[in-house]
Structure 1
Amino acid sequence: MPSVLRYNRPATEAAQQAIAAALGAPGRDASEAFAAFIAELGLPRRLADVGVGEDRFELIGRNAMLSIFTRANPQPIREPGDVVKILKLAA
């Protein structure tokens, strides 16, 4: 999720300020605040922590293009490479 927030920041700045405030970190980057929240919960923080390696990113990117949710993303995702960018942020 922090990687998705980073990718979407240009299109969702105001909403992300509200997210950061709701996480008790007003003025902080929402992706960093959310990453800290995840860490506090002891949850996995990287895709590698749950067994997803970079060797799967291209396949995930292609499959993600089939989802209506990908096409509805606030920051446009036009090709599988855009999804791979997000996955690399989460690697």
Structure 2
Amino acid sequence: MDNDYGYVDGNAAAGPLQELLAVEATTVEGQCTSCGRTSMLADTRVYFGGPGLVMRCRGCGAELLSLVTTPTTTRLDVSGLTCLTFPLEA
């Protein structure tokens, strides 16, 4: 449906996001908001404890990502990353 603002609701992104998020997570590259270092998530330092895990930048130690799972939800916080780059299968 067209509207004055040229947008549709978030359901329109379901297909593309499903395709994007179904990748090998360790090959995804992230850029640290603190120091600007870019590396694959496999190159981070991962700390387990409490209800989840924390990924920290190998360059400066800043928190990049946290993943917490409870009995009813999973929360992914990527506020320590300026962007994520997902490799596409050829």
TM-score, normalisation: structure 1: 0.22
The structure whose Rg is larger is 2
Structure in which a larger fraction of residues adopt helix: 1
Structure in which a larger fraction of residues adopt strand: 2
- The one of the two structures with greater contact order (alpha-carbon pairs below 8 A, sep at least 6) is 1
